[in-house]
């Protein structure tokens, strides 16, 4: 199962107010970035991502919306990952042993 492909056409799970475009056609997988998990040339595992619209993804990657507090954006991203994991768990696509 390719979790990144499941992100296609999903709603944005990050949902940053005044940023999110709400357009599932722009949704892409947004991986967590965290020292010890990801880094130069190392992408986080696919269970540490969530679908994000292009605008929210730009805020997460600091390409745009730089005026937003970094911790605020990180919190929204982490919450999106948890919502996504719950959805995958409910659909029996994420199994906890």
Cite the active site residues.
31
Instruction: Name the residue among 86, 91, 83, 23 with its Cα closest to residue 57.
Output: 23
DSSP 32-69: ---BTTBBTTBPPPTTSEEEE-HHHHHHHTTSS-TTS-
Contact (Cβ atoms closer than 8 angstroms) between residue 30 and residue 56: yes
């Amino acid at each position: 199962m390719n979790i990144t492909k499941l992100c296609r056409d999903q709603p944005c799970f990050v949902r940053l107010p005044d940023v999110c475009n709400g357009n599932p056609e722009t949704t892409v997988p947004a991986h967590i970035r965290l020292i010890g998990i990801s880094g130069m040339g190392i992408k986080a595992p696919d269970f540490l991502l969530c679908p994000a619209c292009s605008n929210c993804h730009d805020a997460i990657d600091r390409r745009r919306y730089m005026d937003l507090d970094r911790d605020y954006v990180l919190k929204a991203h982490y919450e999106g990952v948890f919502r996504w994991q719950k959805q995958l768990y409910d659909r029996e696509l994420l199994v906890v042993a």
